[in-house]
Chains A and B, each alone.
Chain A
Amino acid sequence: MLLIACPHCGERPEIEFRCGGEAHIARPADPGAIDDAAWAGFLFYRTNPKGVHAERWLHAHGCGRWFNALRDTVSDRMLATYAMGAPRPEVPSPLVGVPSPLAGEGQGGGKPPTAIVGSPPTPNPSPQGGGESP
């Protein structure tokens, strides 16, 4: 079970949250103006990366707020969480198989605390806000 740092509430167990899939998929401003293929791209096509994934989370059993997170889909390590509307933060790319600088030869812990990036309170109007996966 993941430990997720809600930008508004702090670290909470995963069962309080609902994952909303890939983040930063902007809903087309004028859906009527794009063709079926482009619309399918918005609806269904996903990056599904092996590595850093920007994804949406809802703190359903907490503050009820949506926010974004960066997570490494190989180690499941949370790299950052940030308020909806905030730009995607830069994080060092976790190369597969390379441990964190804190990790030693079985002598040191890996996981750094998740960085909370971005200012919590006001959702920022932005086309980068998020998207719907059906």
Chain B
Amino acid sequence: MRRFSLGTLVMEALAGHKGWERQWRSPEPKAAYDVVIVGGGGHGLATAYYLAKEHGITNVAVLEKGWIGGGNTGRNTTIIRSNYLQDESAAIYEHAVRLWEGLSRELNYNVMFSQRGVMMLAHNEHDVRSLKRHVYANRLYGIDNEWLSAAEAKAFCPPLNIAPDIRYPVIGAALQRRGGVARHDAVAWGYARGADARGVDIIENCEVTGFRRGPDGAIAGVETTRGDIATPRVGVVAAGHSSVVMARAGLRMPLESFPLQALVSEPVKPVFPCVVMSNTVHAYISQSDKGELVIGAGTDQYVSYSQQGGLHIATHTLEAICELFPQFSRMRMLRSWGGIVDVTPDRSPIIGATPIPGLYVNCGWGTGGFKATPGSGHVFAHTIAKGEPHAINAPFSLDRFRTGHLIDEAAAAAVAH
């Protein structure tokens, strides 16, 4: 792999950029692999990368039915934070944030992780109680989170409207300064390049259509649109399509897939310094390095694979944006889009083994998967390599739906955005 650096960039610039290599190859699938990852999004590619790097398992294929990073990796609002309430969630998201902090250099690919702070607003006494519960829990865990008055929130985010006479005034906020945003596409490409350089085959336009089982019932391979592939271990990381893929293995999942919308404004000069989230009025906003205001909207209420939601979801979100930031009313929506988010009953992911030996699953990230990408891939690679979960993902088992040991982040009224 040719390293990226200012030096190579200058040399290539002088040579007309003729010498750059493919960032990842486009190989034909082999007949057999040690591990097959189904799904070439950020989580799947990260899994393959860490399998190769941390566990020395390089005979790995990532099968992607479309183009890598084309699902939720490329469709989210890129918010990264770890200020989750439950210990189990805090552990995995903080694991991810720590990996994010070194990711550009780890991958030799600038993923533009920008720790500009994530601020969550309180609009009523219930919000205050809930956010303070988060602040205290996070601090004991070792995650930064601090309580701000409305005036302090305004100082941190000057566009914020803290007028006391609006319908739901801002009365305080919780701030995680280490939270931020990253460049979503670069995460997929960076992991792809890193995995490819270690021998992983990334195979696009290859859909898994079925699973092969051995006489003992264990996984023996997958059937794909590009032929059969033998493998003893399969990791399914198919996000919104997890139920569809798992159904091909005969498994039903505790998942529902909903459309989730987001939108951006036209680009403007820097005006918004951080990430602001309000679960009460449903507003999620930051500004990209390109200058677009990036705004998350809600999910539609019905199961859908259409990657398209209703107009009323976007208008509802923009009502809240204009209420909190009335100066943005004359800004314009440039582009809106939808993703398919797979949601579990407790809004927490499933990462681990399945009833079929050799088949592992990583799904159910709902509206909050992007931020977990490095951590998710890291512990899922461990799970596949060792045949047992990493301590961090052990609680995120399928079995918790039987025992009732749910990890309910909605508990303190925090939507996992």
Interface residues of A (CB under 8 A from B): 1-2, 14-15, 18-19, 21-22, 36-37, 40-41, 43-50, 53, 55, 71, 73-76, 133-134
CA distance A15 to B301 in the complex (A): 10
Mark the stretch among B53-61, B111-119, B123-131, B251-259 that contacts chain A: B251-259
B243 at the interface (CB under 8 A from A): yes
* 0 or 1 for each of B59-80: is its CB under 8 Å from A? (1 = yes): 0000000000000000000000
| B→A interface (CB under 8 Å) | 241, 243-244, 247, 252-257, 301-306, 308, 310-312, 342, 344-345, 401-403
Sample of 6 A–B contacts (CB below 8 Å): A36-B402, A40-B402, A41-B252, A46-B254, A47-B243, A49-B303
Complex: chain B residue closest to A57, CB-CB: B302
Of A46, A48, A73, the residue contacting B306 (CB under 8 A) is A73
Q: Which residues of B have CB within 8 Å of A21? A: 256, 303
B312 contacts which of A1, A18, A46, A71 (Cβ < 8 Å)?
Answer: A1
Q: Given A1-B310, A75-B306, is A50 in contact with B254 using a C-beta cutoff of 8 Å?
A: no
Given known A1-B310, A15-B312, contact A43–B345 (CB-CB < 8 A): yes
Bound state CA distance, A71 and B194, in angstroms?
42
Residues of B within 8 A of A1 (CB): 310-312
> Nearest chain A CB to B249's CB is how many angstroms away?
14
Closest chain B CB from A67 CB (angstroms): 14
How many whole Å from B254's CB to the nearest CB in chain A? 4
* Chain B residues in 8 Å Cβ range of A44: 254, 344-345, 401
Q: Of A2, A14, A40, which contacts B401 at CB under 8 A?
A: A40
Chain A residues whose C-beta falls within 8 Å of the C-beta of B345 in the assembled complex: 43-44, 133-134
Q: A36-B402, A48-B243 are in contact. Are A55 and B312 (CB under 8 A)?
A: no
A74 and B310 in contact, given A45-B253, A48-B256 (Cβ under 8 angstroms): no
B74: shortest Cβ distance to chain A, in Å? 20
Seed contacts A14-B312, A22-B303; 16 additional CB < 8 Å A-B pairs: A1-B312, A2-B310, A18-B301, A40-B402, A41-B252, A43-B345, A43-B401, A45-B254, A46-B253, A47-B247, A48-B256, A49-B243, A50-B244, A73-B306, A76-B304, A133-B345
On whether the beta carbons of B401 and A50 are closer than 8 Å, the reply is no
A45 touches B403 (CB 8 A): no
Instruction: Say yes or no: A48-B303 contact (C-beta < 8 A), given A1-B310, A1-B312, A14-B310.
Output: yes
Contact in complex: A73, B310 (CB < 8 Å): no
What residues of A have a CB within 8 angstroms of the CB of B255 in the complex? 46, 48
B302 touches A48 (CB 8 A): no
Chain A residues within an 8 Å CB radius of B402: 36-37, 40
Residues of A contacting B401 in the complex (Cβ-Cβ under 8 angstroms) = 40, 43-45
- CB-nearest residue of chain B relative to A74? B305
* In the complex, residue of chain A having the shortest beta-carbon distance to the beta carbon of B310: A1
* C-alpha spacing A95/B158, complex, angstroms: 51
List, in ascending order, chain B residues with CB within 8 A of A18's CB.
Answer: 301
Task: Give the nearest-CB partner of A39 in chain B.
Answer: B402
In the bound complex, residues from chain A placing their C-beta under 8 Å from that of B243 are: 46-50
CA–CA, A36 and B302, complex, Å: 28
A76/B257 in contact, CB under 8 A: no
Name the A residues within 8 Å of B305 (CB-CB).
50, 73-74
CB distance from A51 to the nearest CB of B (A): 9
Q: Residue of A at shortest CB range from B342?
A: A48
Q: Complex formed: what's the CA distance from A12 to B304 in Å?
A: 19
CB distance from B375 to the nearest CB of A (A): 24
Give A17 Cβ to nearest chain B Cβ, in Å: 8
C-alpha gap A134/B311 in the complex (Å):
27
A36 to B303 CA separation, bound complex (whole angstroms): 26
Chain B hits for A41, CB < 8 A = 252
Q: Is the CB of B256 within 8 A of A71?
A: no
Contact of B252 (CB < 8 Å), options: A43, A46, A75, A76: A46
**In the bound complex, CA of A37 to CA of B254 (Å):** 12
- 8 shortest A-B CB distances, which residue pairs? A48-B243, A44-B254, A1-B310, A19-B301, A40-B402, A19-B302, A40-B401, A44-B345
Q: Which residue of A lies closest to B406 (CB)?
A: A44
Contact A2:B311 (CB < 8 A) given known A37-B402, A47-B252: no
Which residue of chain A has its CB nearest to the CB of B344? Answer: A44
Chain A residues with Cβ below 8 Å from B253 are: 45-46, 48
